[in-house]
Amino acid sequence: MSAIHTENLLRSFGELKAVDAISLDVAEGEIFGLVGPDGAGKTTTMRLLTAIMEPTSGEAWVAGHHSVREAEAIKEDIGYMSQRFGLYPDLTVLENIHFYADIYSVPRRGRDAKVEELLGFSNLTPFKKRQAGKLSGGMKQKLGLACALIHTPKVLFLDEPTNGVDPVSRRDFWRILYKLLRQKVTIFVSTAYLDEAERCNRIGLIHKGQLLAVGTPDEVKRLMRGSILEVRCTEPRKATRSLQAHLPSGSVGLFGDRVHVVTSTPEKTSPELEIILARDGIAVTSVREIEPSLEDVFVSVLGRSEGKETADVRAN
């Protein structure tokens, strides 16, 4: 049984299709990542699945409940951590958790044990008497997660939970999510960080409300057409502009201090790159073929999938 199932789920705002006919299955006990840039439709999708918003058309089921006809039942079986999760800065860590326990009608009997478990689980026990407003960004996210888990949900929705959080706190947060998997909690997480997408069991690439690809990170990478040449040189920004002026549109991108070039003929293209850059006075350190990253794949799939059907790369 799927923890999440949607059929042609669509949400329009006037002429804008924020979510455009998404059909998707998320298995019980997996981490599914919805990956895309700001404005791609991630938050709207999550609001539809959490029964906060009704679809314009199409249907969705979460934990076996219909998102419109059984909206209240869904809310009892899920945890939802929005981008601006409602922590109360003047309340302590412990008081915030108990506040959400009251909202979810968690019985008093056994509640203290559950709270202590969550504090230990999220490494917040030493800070349980600290006001939420005085916590670091990463600790606030952990507290938000603890509050979302107080009623033991079957499906956990996390909307860009590590946005703006430092790398160490992001790593710690994901360690907590992996612990949840051992408790058979299904996790649906949205993110704009493609390195985080690598941590998911499966991912969906979304852009302008449309799913461009669905599968494991490795399966999605196989959608890459052509090879990636990585160029290391003295002036990567200048090199990017130079190569973009000579090569097909969309085939050149700047990735940190390196330039990536997509080509179907790497053996032929490699020396051509060095010639182009030498003409512009740019010293090349190396040109080598590399495995594509999810960012490479996203750019490639985006370039050829506007208006086309989802590329479903699930294993047969």
Whole-number pLDDT of residue 52: 92
The bridge status of strand 186-191 relative to strand 155-159 is parallel
The answer, yes or no, to whether residue 292 has pLDDT greater than 50, is yes
Query: What percent of the chain is modeled with pLDDT above 90?
Result: 42
In the chain, the N- to C-terminal Cα span, in Å, equals 18
Which tokens is 199 given?
Answer: 């941590």
Whole-number pLDDT of residue 131: 93
Whole-number pLDDT of residue 313: 42
Dist CA 204 CA 40 (whole Å)? 12
Whole-number pLDDT of residue 303: 59
Task: Give the model confidence (pLDDT) of 31-48 as tens digits.
Answer: 999 988 888 899 999 999
Query: Helices 167-181 and 137-149 sit at what angle, rounded to 10 degrees?
Result: 20
Whole-number pLDDT of residue 311: 43
Task: Give the model confidence (pLDDT) of 90-114 as tens digits.
Answer: 999 999 999 999 988 888 888 888 8
The answer, yes or no, to whether residue 203 has pLDDT greater than 80, is yes
pTM value is 0.79
Residue pair 312/205 in contact by the 8 Å Cβ criterion:
no
The answer, yes or no, to whether residue 223 has pLDDT greater than 50, is yes
87 compared with 310, residue with greater pLDDT? 87
**Which of the four pLDDT bands, split at 50, 70 and 90, describes residue 305?**
low
List of domains in the chain: 2-221 (3.40.50.300), 227-290 (3.30.70)
Tell me the C-alpha to C-alpha distance, in Å, between residue 225 and each of 35, 36, 150, 291: 20, 20, 45, 12
Select from 311, 281, 287 the least CA-distant residue to 297: 311
Select from 195, 217, 191, 219 the least CA-distant residue to 45: 191
**Which of the four pLDDT bands, split at 50, 70 and 90, describes residue 120?**
confident
Residues in the chain: 316
Dist CA 80 CA 74 (whole Å)? 11
Query: What percent of the chain is modeled with pLDDT above 70?
Result: 93
Mean pLDDT is lowest, of 192-196, 211-215, 260-264, for: 192-196
310 compared with 122, residue with greater pLDDT? 122
Whole-number pLDDT of residue 309: 42
The answer, yes or no, to whether residue 315 has pLDDT greater than 50, is no
Residue pair 233/284 in contact by the 8 Å Cβ criterion:
yes
Measure CA 50 to chain center.
16
- Based on its alpha-carbon atoms, the radius of gyration of the chain, rounded to whole angstroms, reads 22
Question: Mean pLDDT for the chain?
Answer: 86
